[in-house]
Homo-oligomer: A and B are copies of this chain.
């Protein structure tokens, strides 16, 4: 059976043919929901507790409720990954506010939908080429603070980066400082400090980023265009790539730093 032919919906594994996503689902109509992308290592979901904690925290902030207890969701994710024993895979967990009447207003009667899908994942170790894009992250707004289904700005920012020859876009926040890459957090080594943009400047509170902050290996800072243009090294982090090397920023070649990458990577080995 091809990995990804099954999905998990509201507590049950399914062949994915009889989808419950209707045309009035607010995830579809209004981007009204959240998601998590997780790495299945072949034996377990890396940082699953961190992912579930972030999902619950974000859901609470948006007035969304999980239709099932967290333990049941985690059991469902593991059941979904049962076909991927011994191989890496990407699991996506999507929480939508569910079907609702016309209009923006959140109706009390809306019943949320939770869906998980799985896809093969191959680590891509080639250092990344980053390109600054014009589209900004909306600092302080739900679309930037939480990993919501409203992803059009990052999506089009990636297209802008690709059109300019990059693999990932670097997005500034509306505060004027670097926020993140289009689908990863960003870390820069600048004058001996290992820095990452603050949530206030538009960074998503990424799981790997959070681990590195908690380990004291990186610190939050406002990163401006000059710092980006003069940093010594740069890394991308997200749940799938872990810590990824960056080859160039806007065409400027960066020296690799395997020692630093290794030091940061060690903080992720505990899970």
Contacts and interface: CB of A to CB of B under 8 A. Distances in A.
A257 B153 CA distance: 39
A262 interface: no
> Quick one: copies of this chain in the complex?
2
A109 interface: no
Contact of A117 (B23, B105, B141, B155): B23
A186 to B, nearest CB: 16
Interface residues of A, number: 56
Most buried by B among A25, A94, A117, A153: A153
Nearest to A149: B31
A92 B174 contact: no
Given A19-B21, A94-B23, A174-B138, A151 B153 contact: no
Contacts of A35: 29
A62 B90 CA distance: 27
A159 B23 contact: no
A51 to B, nearest CB: 16
Given A21-B22, A30-B31, A106-B155, 6 more contacts: A19-B21, A23-B115, A29-B94, A134-B140, A141-B153, A148-B152
